[in-house]
Amino acid sequence: MTLSMDGLALYRHIPHINDFTFIIDTHKYHCSKILAAFISPAVARSISSDIFCDVFHIPIDDNNFIFKQVMRLMRGEEIEITSKNYQYLLNVASILENQEIINKINSLSIFKFDEQTILNSTMKKLERNMNIDNEIDFIAASVTSFPARSLAEFDIPTLWRIFSSSCLKAKEESSIFQLICDLIELKGYQAKVLLNCVYYENLSLSEMVDFGEMINDYQLTGPIMMSLIKRLQKIVKQHKRNPLRKISNEESYEFKEGKSFDGIFAHLQKQWNKNVQDQKICKITTSSGDSPKGITDNTWNDCWYSKNEPNSWIRFDFLDHAVSLTHYSLKTFIGGPHSGHLKSWSLEGSNDGKIWKVMDQRDNTEDLNNRNNYYTYKCDDHGIYRYVRLKQTGKNHRGNDFLFLSNIEFFGAFI
C-alpha cells in the first residue's frame, strides 16, 4: 500500500521552521528543508550528503517574482500555466530536477501558446537536450507564419526536422519554397539541403528558374536530388492536391534515453533487411585490420580492431547521402577494465575525405573502460557531411594503439 502526496497540502497549516533558502537572482525564498527536498530531487541529494546544507542557488532571472508560484506548488496549492510563466517554470523545474513538473507542463496543449513562446521554448529545450517532438509538429503545421529570421535561430538539423515533418502544411508550395530561399540567404550554403523538402511539380515556371539558378554551386546528391534533375527537364505541370500540403519523411533519427543503438544504422538495416555496407548505402573503411562492417549491426556480438598503430581510424562514407549528427554511441568489446578500450578519440566529418571538421573530442575518458560498456555522446558540430571518421588520438586503456570497437550508432538527420 502507498499513500498519495495529498497530505502535504495540510503541512502548510502547521507551524514549521523555515530552515532552507532558495536564492534566485537577488531574491530569497524561505521554506523548510522538508518542502525543499519535496520539490527538488537536486536539493534532496544535497541535503542527504550534507545535513548542514541550507541554501540552493537557481541561476536564472526572477524579475517578476515568478518563483512564488513554485513556492505555491511546494505547499500543495494549484497554479495556472500561461504563456508568460510557461518557459520560466520549465527552466526552474529542469534545474530542480523535478521531472513531474516538466511532464505536466509538456502534457499541456502547446497550441494555447503564441508562436514566439513556442520558438523560445523549443530553443531552451534544445539547449537542455530535451524532447521537442510536439514543438516540431506545431511549428511545421504553421511554418509559413513564422518569420524566416526567427526560424534561422535553429540549427540545420532542427530545420530539417521541421521541413521534413509529416505535419508540414502550406496553402501554396511557393510559400514553402520562398521561406527556404530566405533561410538559405540567412544561414548560407548548408541550408540548401532544405531544398530536398520542396514539391517542385507544384511550383510555377518562374520559381523553377529561380531554383535552377540557386543550385549552380550545390552538389546534387542522393535519389531525391537526382529526381529533381529529371523533373527540371520536363514542363512543370500543376497537380491537384489537398490545399493543406503535407509531406512525410522519416529520415530524422533522434537519440532517446534507453535506445542507444536505435539510430540511423538500425533503421536503415531494418528498412533494407541487410547490412548498410552490403546494401551499398555506406562504405566502411579503416586504417588497418579486417572488415568492420559488423559494428553497425546492433545484434553483432563480436568486435573489430585495428593494427597497433598510432591514430588508427574507422571511416564511414555515405556515398550518395550525407548525415548531420547530433549524437553517437560507442560500445566496447568483452575485455575487462584496462583492456584495449577507447580512451581518447575524435569524431570528425568531411565532404571530400581530406579536410576534416571535429564534431566531438574526448580525452582520457573512463566512460568505456570495461567489458561491453556503451555510452552516448553529444556532437558539438552539426554540419552536413558525406564522410564521418572515428579516430583514436591517444593510447587506449591498455597503453597501446590498437583501436577496438564492438558497435557504433549515429543519431541525427540522414539526407
pLDDT tens profile 69-85: 999 888 888 888 776 77
pTM: 0.45
Flag the least confident range among 8-12, 131-135, 172-176, 254-258. 8-12
In this prediction, residues 206-213 reach a mean pLDDT of 70
Q: How far apart are CA 58 and CA 72, in angstroms?
A: 17
The CATH code belonging to domain 251-414 is: 2.60.120.260
C-alpha 100/C-alpha 172 separation (Å) is: 41
Res 47 pLDDT > 50: yes
- More confident position, 196 or 378: 378
User: What is the reported pLDDT for 237?
Assistant: 37
User: Residue 246: what pLDDT?
Assistant: 39
From 96-100, 115-119, 179-183, 195-199, the region with the lowest mean pLDDT: 115-119
- d(CA 188, CA 175) in angstroms, rounded, equals 19
For domain 2-104, which architecture applies? 2-Layer Sandwich (3.30)
User: What integer pLDDT is reported at residue 1 of this predicted model?
Assistant: 36
**Better-scored residue on pLDDT, 393 or 211:** 393
Query: In this predicted structure, what is the pLDDT of residue 382?
Result: 82
C-alpha distances (whole Å) from 234 to each of 172, 176, 205, 242, 390 are 21, 21, 11, 23, 43
Question: Is residue 265 pLDDT above 80, yes or no?
Answer: yes
Share of the chain above pLDDT 70, in %: 82
CA distance 394 to 316: 21
Burial of 410 by CB count in 10 Å (0-12 exposed, 13-18 middle, 19+ buried)?
buried
pLDDT greater than 60 at residue 322: yes
If pLDDT is split at 50, 70 and 90, which confidence band does 228 have? low
pLDDT at 241: 38
Q: What is the pLDDT of residue 16?
A: 67
pLDDT, tens only, 362-376: 999 988 888 888 899
Angstrom CA distances, 261 to 159, 217, 411, stand at 24, 36, 9
In this prediction, residue 138 carries a pLDDT of: 80
**How much is the mean pLDDT over the chain?**
80
Q: What is the mean pLDDT of residues 176-187?
A: 90
Looking at residue 151, its pLDDT comes to 92
pLDDT reading at 387 higher than 90: yes
Spell out the domain ranges in the chain.
2-104, 115-236, 251-414
Q: How far is CA 79 from CA 70, 76, 82, 101, in A?
A: 9, 10, 10, 12
Q: Is the pLDDT of residue 154 over 80?
A: yes
Judged by DSSP in three states, 194 sits in: helix
Q: How many H helices and E strands in the chain?
A: 14, 15
Cα(21)–Cα(343) distance, rounded to whole angstroms?
A: 42
Decide if pLDDT at 118 tops 60: yes
- Same fold? 2-104, 251-414: no
Average pLDDT over residues 298-305: 83
